[in-house]
């Protein structure tokens, strides 16, 4: 007689916790238009958030993530209780504490002596801080990379360096660099000149980076023959980019539909780097940032990495950090 036993099914317990905001301002926690809440949610995609007035209820099957969230929000709440508010930079610093929001950050950093490009003036282009080293390491293992952080951390510059390196090594046939042409809506009609003259001021930072890395005559040749393209984001619609290195800068000012359109341009043997600062969104209130949506829904897709840069990664003049700190005190 044969006896068969049914396998015992492991019971998964749904964990729940309620945060009370009775003694602090919910606006300081949720942010304007729930921006801060969206950023918290992006770090915990397996947790369901329900915000109702002065209560924030969270549910998840992952008890460890609930505990991490309790520690982070507890520290944020305490900061608000002491000071009555919390600045954007401080909010992001605390959001990152004791919490590996980005799986890519667990990857080893590139060597600080790694030379990416021999620049046009003989200077060596290499990663200058921990955030940039993480970008370089993650770019080697992933076809799509998001680099998110404050201005001055060199995320765009290092992304362009990676693209130029790939072009020089013949791993790609072309580079495509783009930005939302105007911060809110790409309305160029009121500007003087032809289309190139209208959009060039918005794309100037990309030209500046290229001029540091490629000799003038060679760069002119690349631009004239569309080996390097610098275009407004709106011009990407309908294209399929094969064997290309594609960079989207200022991605926080791309709408959800624009960023979806951009990501689906990815062709065979191509790579993408998307850079942005999720604390500096200039879109009108009626439009939502595609960057925030991507951070939430693409988090666990293999081949896509997210790197968070911090204020400590700022690489501009040493006074920049002091200037930012001074503004921080009065904001």
Express as a percent the part of the chain with pLDDT over 90. Answer: 35
Give the global pTM. Answer: 0.69
What span, in angstroms and rounded, lies between the C-alpha atoms of 223 and 219?
Answer: 6
Rounded alpha-carbon distances, angstroms, from residue 66 to 103, 154, 199, 239, 312: 17, 33, 46, 42, 28
To 10 degrees, the CA torsion angle through 311, 312, 316, 319? 90
Q: Kindly state the helix (H) or strand (E) to which residue 124 belongs, with its residue range.
A: strand 124-125
Complete edge-to-edge strand list for the sheet that includes strand 48-52: 15-20, 55-60, 48-52
Q: pLDDT tens across 298-324, in order? A: 988 999 999 998 877 888 777 777 776
Q: pLDDT tens across 26-75, in order? A: 888 888 888 888 888 887 878 889 988 888 999 988 888 888 888 888 88
Rounded alpha-carbon distances, angstroms, from residue 126 to 93, 119, 142, 277: 26, 10, 19, 22
User: Does the pLDDT at position 265 exceed 60?
Assistant: yes
For position 269, what pLDDT does the model report?
Answer: 95
* Domains within the chain, CATH numbers bracketed: 15-96 (3.30.1370.10), 106-330 (3.40.50.300)
Alpha-helix runs per DSSP H in the chain: 26-30, 35-43, 63-83, 88-96, 130-139, 155-168, 195-213, 216-224, 256-263, 290-297, 318-330
For position 197, what pLDDT does the model report?
Answer: 65
List the one residue out of 261, 259, 267, 255 whose CA is nearest residue 174.
267
pLDDT tier for residue 5 given thresholds of 50, 70 and 90: low
Tokens 């693209």, located at residue: 163
What span, in angstroms and rounded, lies between the C-alpha atoms of 107 and 119?
Answer: 27
User: Does the pLDDT at position 182 exceed 70?
Assistant: no
- How high is the mean pLDDT of the chain? 83
Residue 190, phi-psi category: left (phi > 0), alpha (psi -120 to 50), beta (remainder): alpha
What are the structure tokens assigned to 4, written together?
Answer: 């068969």
Between 284 and 229, name the one with better pLDDT: 229
What span, in angstroms and rounded, lies between the C-alpha atoms of 215 and 32?
Answer: 45
For position 8, what pLDDT does the model report?
Answer: 55
Q: pLDDT tens across 106-150, in order? A: 455 555 567 899 887 778 899 988 899 999 999 999 999 999 988
What span, in angstroms and rounded, lies between the C-alpha atoms of 275 and 257?
Answer: 17
For position 214, what pLDDT does the model report?
Answer: 93
For the segment 276-286, the average pLDDT, to the nearest whole number, is 86
For position 133, what pLDDT does the model report?
Answer: 93
């Amino acid at each position: 007689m044969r006896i068969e036993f049914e396998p015992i099914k492991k019971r998964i317990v749904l964990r729940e916790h309620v945060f009370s905001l009775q003694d602090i301002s919910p606006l300081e926690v949720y942010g304007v238009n729930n921006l801060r809440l969206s950023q918290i949610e992006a770090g915990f995609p397996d947790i369901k958030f329900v915000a109702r007035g002065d209560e924030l209820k969270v549910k998840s099957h992952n008890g460890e993530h609930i505990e991490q969230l309790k520690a982070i929000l507890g520290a944020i709440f305490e900061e608000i209780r002491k000071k009555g508010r919390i600045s954007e930079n401080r909010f992001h610093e605390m959001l990152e504490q004791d919490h590996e929001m980005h799986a890519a950050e667990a990857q080893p950093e590139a060597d600080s002596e790694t030379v990416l490009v021999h620049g046009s003036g003989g200077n060596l282009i290499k990663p200058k801080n921990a955030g940039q080293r993480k970008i370089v390491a993650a770019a080697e293992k992933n076809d799509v990379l998001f680099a998110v952080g404050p201005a001055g951390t060199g995320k765009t510059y290092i992304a362009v360096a990676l693209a130029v390196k790939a072009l020089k090594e013949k791993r790609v046939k072309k580079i495509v660099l783009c930005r939302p042409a105007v911060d809110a809506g790409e309305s160029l009609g009121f500007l003087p000149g032809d289309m190139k003259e209208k959009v060039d001021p918005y794309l100037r930072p990309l030209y500046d980076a290229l001029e540091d890395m490629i000799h003038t005559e060679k760069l002119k040749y690349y631009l004239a023959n569309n080996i390097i393209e610098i275009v407004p984001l709106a011009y990407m619609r309908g294209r399929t980019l094969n064997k290309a290195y594609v960079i989207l800068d200022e991605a926080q000012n791309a709408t959800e539909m624009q960023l979806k359109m951009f990501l689906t341009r990815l062709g065979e043997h191509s790579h993408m780097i998307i850079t942005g600062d999720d604390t500096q969104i200039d879109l009108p209130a009626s439009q939502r940032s595609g960057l925030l949506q991507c951070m939430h829904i693409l988090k666990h897709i293999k081949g896509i990495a997210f790197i968070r840069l911090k204020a400590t990664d700022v690489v501009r003049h040493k006074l920049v950090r002091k200037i930012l700190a001074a503004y921080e005190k009065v904001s």
